[in-house]
Structure 1
Amino acid sequence: MAKIVPSEGVGRAWLAAARHLDTQRGRKDRNLVLEISKPQALSGEDLTIIRAVDAKLREHHDDLSIETVSGTIFPNSLYRREGRPQFYKSFVEVMAVGKKPNSWGTYALRMINRVDRKGKGTYNPLDSIVERLLKTHTGKTYQAAYELGVVDIHDDFDTNLNGYGFELPLFDPSRDAKPTNVPCLSHLSFKLTDGKLDLTAIYRSHWYCMRALGNLVGLSQLQSFVGKESKYECGTLTCIATHAYLDSESFGGVPATTTLLTGLPVT
């Protein structure tokens, strides 16, 4: 049975979900759903939670922080500095140098730089979504795509869909059909609801100590980018983890994790 966690902010949503996982057998659960109504608005409690988790990550990992995790979803600082579309080119250039050998890169790279299956260079799925959403201001607007997310990525961007798309699949069967070292974020779906832009993210697996809060921050920044560039106010951010795990070892063990969770602001 799904566990639904409603909240206004990303920090408070993460804390409520992490506390739930801390009570589960093996600190694991299936179909953990976060419904965040104001993901871009950070309250004092949200900031306190984010700072505490960031400090714990930095304490136990040399190269891990909320910022480094959120940056794998969306390079927000680069976008704010250079704007669209220049930041696309800059990010691809940075990743060409900085991407680890034999790795699949980052989610952001997959969103903005995909190889055309017909050998005609690359294309930018994320900007295709922005452009298609912009067209809804002068044409017919569709609220949802009613997708399963199992078709090929190229089918999702077929021009014959005439506005039914708005999908951003990240799983690539040709590269990711392996038991290990595969992306945990499977699919992103943008929807228009009562004139607002909602975002739903589906994770096949979500590690709550090491990754989840940074991912939520990155998703909120991605949603903000698409909303701003397509001239839509942002709505709800929904994050679904089909497998959620409170990886307490990432925070220094079970006692340290429980102490952190109980000491943070009550949500």
Structure 2
Amino acid sequence: MSAVNVAGRTALDAWRNGVAMVLDRREVFNLFTTIDEPTILDAGWLAQCSPRKRGFPGDDVREVIKTIFPFELAQALPDRAALYQAYLERHDRAMRFKRNRSAWGTYFERLVRFPDHPATNQLEVVIEKLNKWEKRSSTGLVFHLSTPARDTPRTRGGPCWHFGELVWHPGDLLDLVVVYRNHDFYNKALGNFLGLGQLLRFICAASGKTPGKLVCHSVHAYNGGSVEALRAISH
């Protein structure tokens, strides 16, 4: 099955173009989304394009963003070590309540405390390499969001973002390339794109690099809501 490509200057532009494909085809396999300026985040989008904020069943874009990068907490805690500690404390406290429990946690948790390897902070390792490697490695910096030990095959659930890679270009420009096995363009995709953009901004600020593009391979893209609701939040 051939790939489908969409693009946009901002996360909102690219998401809307992806939504058009999903609405037209009902589901899309191998959808590649390229966002030229992924670090742009307009607060107005969080209400305008959030199902819950618009009165539809579904997620809140702001909360989806925070599963990938806690952008509001990061504004209050510029020190990276303090940010990691504060996030994990909040995460663990929230997991005490049954309604919040998940077999896989959140993406940011997996970036800074990988399952079964709590001492492994992938995010900090990448930042350290970007700061210390004397020779640029174009494709040597990766994030793993899934582990066979925890994420056994299941019909529903489990992390959808599986893999991330930083592409380090000449001139210290960083692209972020990600792979999603399953991508809900109603509830998740816009928040995912915005969260990944803020994650890229954070990495670049910590390593003295310049944010480049976000490229997302959605193996399966679909509408997790009604056609009418998706049309409403995307216009």
Structure 2 length-normalised TM: 0.89
Give the ranges of 4+ consecutive aligned residues of structure 1 lying more than 3 Å apart after TM superposition. 46-51, 258-261
Partner of 2:86: 90
Give runs of aligned pairs for residues 61-210 of structure 1, distance below 5 A. 61=57, 64-83=59-78, 84-99=80-95, 100-115=100-115, 122-136=119-133, 139-144=134-139, 164=140, 166-179=141-154, 180-194=156-170, 195-210=172-187
How far apart are residue 255 of structure 1 and its match?
Answer: 2.9
Does residue 51 (structure 1) correspond to residue 47 (structure 2)? The answer is yes
How far apart are residue 193 of structure 1 and its match?
Answer: 1.4
* Matched pairs, number: 226
Q: Measured at CA, do residues 4 and 87 of structure 1 come closer, stay the same or move farther in structure 2, by a change above 3 Å?
A: same
Structure 1, unmatched stretches of 5+, are 145-163
Contact 2:176 2:214 in 1 (8 A): yes
How far apart are residue 260 of structure 1 and its match?
Answer: 4.6
Amino acid at match of 2:104: W
Secondary structure in 2 matching 1:198: strand
Contact 1:21 1:245 in 2 (8 A): yes
Amino acid at match of 2:130: L
Distance 1:181 1:258 in 2: 25
Partner of 1:10: 11
Give runs of aligned pairs for residues 212-231 of structure 1, distance below 5 A. 212-231=189-208
Distance 2:62 2:90 in 1: 17
Partner of 1:233: 210
1:257 corresponds to which of 227, 230, 234: 230
Which of the two has greater helix per residue? Answer: 1
How far apart are residue 171 of structure 1 and its match?
Answer: 0.7
Amino acid at match of 2:126: I
Could you say which structure has the larger radius of gyration?
1
Structure 2, unmatched stretches of 5+, are none
Partner of 1:28: 27
Distance 2:94 2:46 in 1: 26
Amino acid at match of 1:88: Y
Q: CA RMSD in A?
A: 1.9
Secondary structure in 2 matching 1:182: coil
